[in-house]
Amino acid sequence: TVDEFGTVDILVNNAGITRDTLVMRMKQTQWQEVIDLNLTGVYLCLQAAVKIMMKKKTGRIVNISSVVGKIGNPGQVNYASAKAGVIGMTMATAKEVGSRGITVNAVAPGFIESDMTE
């Protein structure tokens, strides 16, 4: 993307998966897949964007979390943990880069009908 457009002005981190099941039945792979995409994926994109934005001393990052990251939901311990992590990551990064003209915010929507929630 940077090769094609030359820079990054804004990043919207909006990717996510679910692997819902009760915690007592959750396989480690179900945990790890959700953490890898919903938390680590957000981190990797955020880190790459911050490196570019720091040089420019400006930028906007919006991380899509979920209300589940604030209140939890039965059968979604993996998803809730990842989305809570996104909220914490957002707050920490905002404090880290805010003085350099970069804003970092999270949006935590409630239930949205989509292919993922079918």
Q: Which two tokens stand for residue 20?
A: 């819902």
Residue 81: which H helix or E strand, with range?
A: helix 77-97
CA 30 to chain centre: 18
Nearest-CA neighbor of 41 among 60, 59, 63, 23? 63
Show which residues are catalytic.
Answer: 79
For the chain, give me the number of helices (H) and strands (E)? 5, 3
Residues 6+ apart with CB under 8 A from 41: 13, 15
